Amino acid sequence: MDYTCDCEAVFYELISCGGSYQIHKVVQSEPPEHSYAGGWQSGEARLWWHLVLLGRVR
């Protein structure tokens, strides 16, 4: 649904599957590290996504 620039060492994606929303964090290393947070509904996911974009959460 949305993402930050993958030109950075760490980037984020806001993803949706079956009405549930998650934030996917990717650390570009060898091998890449993946972590997920969420299981939220749309409104709460958008709040967390906004906080990621502001740099208030990681």
Q: Is residue 10 a contact partner of residue 26, using CB atoms and an 8 Å limit?
A: yes
Q: 55: left (phi > 0), else alpha (psi -120 to 50), else beta?
A: left
Number of domains comprising the chain: 1
Q: pTM score, two decimals? A: 0.89
Range of the domain at 33: 2-54
Q: Is residue 28 a contact partner of residue 9, using CB atoms and an 8 Å limit?
A: yes
Of 17, 21, 11, residue with least CA distance to 46: 21
pLDDT digit string, tens, across residues 34-51? 999 999 999 999 999 999
pLDDT digit string, tens, across residues 3-38? 999 999 999 999 999 999 999 999 999 999 999 999
Of 22, 51, 19, 26, residue with least CA distance to 37: 22
